[in-house]
Structure 1
Amino acid sequence: MSSAKSTSANEERPAQERPNLERPHPAGGAQASSLQSHQKAPARMPGEPQAGMPALQVTRTYLEMRDRSELRGAKLDDPLIRIVEQCDCPIELFRFLYVEVGKNYHWVDRLPWTDEQITDYLTQPEISLWLMTYADETAGYFELRKCEDGSTEIAYFGLIGNFIGRGLGKHLLTCAVEQAWADGTNCVWLHTCTLDDAASMPNYLKRGFRPFKTENYEVAIESQAAQQHGSPP
């Protein structure tokens, strides 16, 4: 299947209508199961502690899936759920999703991005962003990033607050993994940390991801008031 960015501007590509969604792809084989096997650093990185700001010790865990047969999907049979690629994602929507999904989990690295930076990022051919709506209301999203070694990172993934705890997370993650394999990859990987929602790690493990690396770091603690909460565009 052609890459996500080959579709025309403003075209939406429904995640559930890919004709080759179940076409198998080869596993990673003998490739080393380490962070070094993924040629790029993760897209989502924390802010560095600054002088005078309290710091928190955080553990980051990297997880991977090396064959699509390892996916233990958990989709909901709910016609109100829709997941659609944003091939020409509006800047306002990009900001809204980042802020609203990440505001409780210390997602801060993209808050200073200018309109130009967002546009430059979204037009990279290796990036695709998928929006989940529930009953036509924005519920969450995931972002896929193809890496130079042929792997795919689920770079961003999450739900907006009032949609958490309703089983939508396992559905969204299942669709993200299916999409990564459908677009062609030798490995799907992601990372989570102890700042994320407590349900994140169990969801990843239940879907078939396996941890392959952990690391500890310090992150600056910022006031929630310092983050501008978005409103639906």
Structure 2
Amino acid sequence: MSQHAAVTTHFLEMTAPNQLRGKPRPPALEVIEAELKEYRFNRYLYQLVGEPWQWTDKLALPDETWRQYAEREQLRTWVAYHRGAIAGYYELEQQADGDVQIAYFGLAPRFVGMGFGGYLLTCALQSAWAWGNTRRVWVHTCTLDHPGALHNYRARGMLVYRTEQE
């Protein structure tokens, strides 16, 4: 008899840029915005970073759906590079009323555990606050994500405002 573990989703937010507790940049890690939008790149990043965490729901979507998602004005993508290799990425989505969601965030599998996550999240939060008239930055994470994800969000100054059990 198999039992499915309950999934807990935590919703976190930051409501002022001065709440950010940044982490310094590790040596040889660069974070660069992918200013030229290319949906195939976003799909690759989603697959690369999400594979260990079973991010599979969007992989079967047709090219046009990916293009409409990734190449719109309200979505921006940043990529972390370590010595030329993709170490991780994040996508920010500008929403109504000054909200910016960290839509996707994570490290490539070979770079997990190297201390890059805190700096990458610092960059994500700084990018979100620098984008237009941001009044709130939010994200959600669940118990299926990396075990350190929730800690990283909290350590950077984000606060849980809602928790859901599935």
TM-score (normalised: structure 1): 0.67
Aligned equivalent of 2:137: 188
1:58 equivalent to 2:7? Answer yes
1:81 equivalent to 2:39? Answer no
Q: Which portions of structure 1, spanning 4 or more consecutive aligned residues, are displaced by more than 3 angstroms? A: 53-56, 89-92
The residue type paired with residue 180 of structure 1 is: A
Write the distance in 1 (CA, Å) between the matches of 2:149 and 2:89.
14
1:159 equivalent to 2:126? Answer no
List gaps (5 residues or longer) in structure 1.
1-52, 218-233
Mean alpha-carbon deviation: is it higher for 88-97 or for 142-151?
88-97
Given that 1:61 and 1:191 are in contact with CA atoms closer than 8 Å, whether structure 2 keeps it comes out as yes
Q: Which string of whole-angstrom CA distances, capped at 9 and with x for unpartnered residues, describes residues 136-192 of structure 1?
A: 111110000011121110010000011011110001000000000011300111010
CA RMSD of aligned residues (A): 1.6
Look up the SS of the partner of 2:21 in the other structure.
coil
Write the distance in 2 (CA, Å) between the matches of 1:203 and 1:69.
17
Tell me the matched-pair count: 164
More helix by share: 2
Given that 1:84 and 1:130 are in contact with CA atoms closer than 8 Å, whether structure 2 keeps it comes out as yes
1:142 equivalent to 2:142? Answer no
Given that 1:76 and 1:167 are in contact with CA atoms closer than 8 Å, whether structure 2 keeps it comes out as no
Greater Rg, structure 1 or structure 2? Answer: 1
1:95 equivalent to 2:47? Answer no
Aligned equivalent of 2:68: 120
1:205 equivalent to 2:154? Answer yes
Structure 1 residue 77 displacement after superposition: 4.5
The residue type paired with residue 81 of structure 2 is: T
Write the distance in 2 (CA, Å) between the matches of 1:183 and 1:83.
16
Structure 1 residue 93 displacement after superposition: 2.1
